[in-house]
Structure 1
C-alpha cells in the first residue's frame, strides 16, 4: 500500500514538474516577447509609430481583446501629433485636457490588475462590454501622471490579484519615457518648421520642400506647380480692426488652405500675409483651377473682428508651373526651384496690379 501511495505521489510530482516546466517556458516566451516589443518602443522616433505598437502589436502579440490609451494633453500636442493615426486606432486613444479622470482611475499611480469593475470598464473599455480582467498601467514621468495604458481580456483569469506582474511595472516606466521622448522630439521639430500662428509650414520648411519637389518632378517626369497667395488690403484690415483681427484672418486662410488642398500639397506661410503652395503632379491648367477655387472660397467667407463686426476679404493668386527637364544635378534643382518661385511671385504681382481678387499665371522663362 505504501508503495502504491509512493508511486501515486511520484506521478503527481512528475505531473506538477511538467506543468511547472510548461509554465516556465510560457513565462520565458512572454518575457522574450515583452523584451522584443520594448526594443521596438525604444527605437520609435514618432508618436504615431509608438502608439500603433501599443494599440495593435500589444493586442496581437499578447492575445488581448482590447488595448486603450489615455493621454494627458492639455495643449492638444499629442492629438496634433497623432492626427495621421488610423481611424480605428484614434477610437482607442483618449486625450485628457486635465488630470481629473486619470487621477480617478489611478489615485495612487500604481499598477491595477484583476477583474474589472463595471464602472471602470465603461470608462476604460467603452466599446468592449465583455472585458472581464485587465491590467491598467499608469504612465508616470518625473512624478507626473501623463496617461495610462489598459490591457483588457475576455478571460477572467488572464489578470488576477494572485500574481505579481513585475515585468508590467518595468514596462510602464519604459512606455512613459518613450512617449515623452517622442512628443518632445516631434514637437521641437514641428516648432522649427511650422508657423505657430497659422499652423501651416513656415518659409524655412517651404524652401527645403521646393528643392525636394523639383528633384522628384525631374525623377518621375511629372509637372510641379507653385501658387503664391496674398491677402488684398491686409494693412487696411489691421488698421481698421486691429492686429488681433488680422491674426484671425491669417489663421482662417491657413485653415482653409489645409482643409481644401490634397494631403500631398504643401502649404506654407511665406511671410506676412503671403502664403505659398506646392502642387505636385499638377500642370498649369489644373493649378489655375485650384487657384480659382481657393480664391472664390475665400471671397465667400464671412469673418468677424474681435469685437464681432462682420467683414469679407479677397486674395490675389499667382501661378507658375514647372515641366521636368530630367536634369539631375543639385545645382540645376536649386536653379529651377528659384525660377519657379520667382515666376509665381511675378504672376502674383501681375494679379495685384490688374486689380486684385484674381488669379494670374505666368509661364516660366525658356531654359538656357
Structure 2
C-alpha cells in the first residue's frame, strides 16, 4: 500500500476513534445527568415537586424544546391535590389531566417509547400549540399493566427522535417516572386520609387549621383579600331526633357536597364539628364572598334531601362571613372568631341568611 494511502487510512481510523470517544463522552455525560435527575425524582417530597422536576427540569438539562405530561385523572384526584399544594395546577406548563386517555388510545401505544416525526393530526392534542416541533418521543407510563399516562418530549431537530434510535434511557425514565408517580399519589392519599372527615368526605378541622395559617400568610404577603365563611345547618337536632342519626348523617353528607360544588379550585371547605362547616375563599373580596355564600345558601334551601325510607327533607343553613384584616394578628383565631360571631347573628336574626362581610377585628 502506498504511504499516502496508509496516511489517509490512519487519518480515517483516527477520526473514527475520535468520533467514538466523543460519543462515549457524550453518553457518559448524558448518563451522569440522567442519574442526577433520577435521584431527584426518587427523592421528591410531594407530587407537585415531582411534576415540576419532570416538566421544568428535564427540558434544559437535556436540551429539548418541549416536555409534556398527560395523566389520567378520572376522579379529579390529581387536580385536587395540586390545587391544594400549588393553588393552580396550571402553574405546571405542559401538564394535562384528562378524565380519559382518548388522545393516547388513538395512537395505539404499547409499553415501549415511540419515536418519530411530529404529526399535527396525531400528536396535536398532546403537544397543544407548541411551535417548531419536528420529532417527538412518547413515553407510555403504566402501573401493573394499566396505562396511566404519557410523558411527551418534542424537539425542533428532526433527527433527535427517530424510529431507529435506541430507547434504553427513555424506557428507564418512563419506568422510574411511573413508580415515582404512583408512590407520590399513595403518599398524598395517606396524608389526605388523615385530613379528611370520614362522614362527609370534605376536609376535617385539623386540615383546615393548617390551611388557614398558610392562606393568611399568603394573603398578607401579597395584600390579597381572604374571606372566611362559617355555616351551620338550621334546626339540625330535630332531624336526628325525628328521623334518626342515619338521616342526620345523610343530611351532613349532602350539605358537604353542595358546599363543595359551589367552590373554585383552591378554595377550602372543612367540617368544623357537629353540623358546622367552614370555608376559606382566597383572593376573594367581600362582595364576591357574599355572592358565594348566598349561592351556597340558596342551593341548599332549594333542595329536598333524600335520607332513606322514601323520606326527603328540606334544610337550610345560616352563614357568617368575615374578611381577613391584613394588618391584624398573624393567627387564625381573629378571623374565625369574626366569622363565628357573624354566624351567631345570622342564627339570632332568623336563620337561613348570610350575615357579615366587615373586616375581622385586630
TM-score higher than 0.5 here? Answer: yes
What are the Cα deviations for residues 193-231 of structure 1, in whole angstroms up to 9, with x where unaligned?
Answer: 1347766431232355678899999xxxxxx99753213
- Provide structure 2 residue ranges, at least 5 long, that are not aligned to the other structure: 220-225, 307-311
Residues 353 and 63 of structure 1, relative CA distance in 2, 3 Å threshold = same
| CA contact 1:113–1:134 (8 Å) conserved in 2 | yes
In structure 2, what is the Cα distance between the partners aligned to 1:155 and 1:176? Answer: 27
CA offset at residue 291 of structure 1?
7.4
Q: Which residue of 2 is the match for residue 87 of structure 1?
A: 90
CA root-mean-square deviation: 4.6
In structure 2, what is the Cα distance between the partners aligned to 1:14 and 1:71? Answer: 48
What are the Cα deviations for residues 18-62 of structure 1, in whole angstroms up to 9, with x where unaligned?
Answer: 222222221111111111111111111222221222122212221
TM-score by length of 2: 0.73
Question: How many residues align structurally?
Answer: 346
In structure 2, what is the Cα distance between the partners aligned to 1:180 and 1:318? Answer: 40
In structure 2, what is the Cα distance between the partners aligned to 1:103 and 1:27? Answer: 33
Residues 340 and 204 of structure 1, relative CA distance in 2, 3 Å threshold = same
Q: Which residue of 2 is the match for residue 180 of structure 1?
A: 182
Q: SS where residue 163 of structure 2 aligns?
A: coil
What are the Cα deviations for residues 144-169 of structure 1, in whole angstroms up to 9, with x where unaligned?
Answer: 22222121112111122333221221
What are the Cα deviations for residues 83-136 of structure 1, in whole angstroms up to 9, with x where unaligned?
Answer: 3355363554242435x5545435431222233455432343242464332221
Residues 319 and 123 of structure 1, relative CA distance in 2, 3 Å threshold = closer
Q: Which residue of 2 is the match for residue 49 of structure 1?
A: 49
Q: Which residue of 2 is the match for residue 359 of structure 1?
A: 355
In structure 2, what is the Cα distance between the partners aligned to 1:11 and 1:174? Answer: 43
Q: Which residue of 2 is the match for residue 150 of structure 1?
A: 152
CA offset at residue 4 of structure 1?
0.4
Counterparts of residues 130-149 of structure 1 (less than 5 Å): 130-149=132-151
| CA contact 2:233–2:315 (8 Å) conserved in 1 | no
In structure 2, what is the Cα distance between the partners aligned to 1:291 and 1:157? Answer: 54
Q: Which residue of 2 is the match for residue 68 of structure 1?
A: 68
Q: SS where residue 95 of structure 1 aligns?
A: coil
Q: SS where residue 98 of structure 2 aligns?
A: strand
CA offset at residue 350 of structure 1?
4.9
CA offset at residue 246 of structure 1?
6.2
TM-score by length of 1: 0.72
User: 1:254 aligned to 256, 260, 266, which one?
Assistant: 260
CA offset at residue 280 of structure 1?
9.9
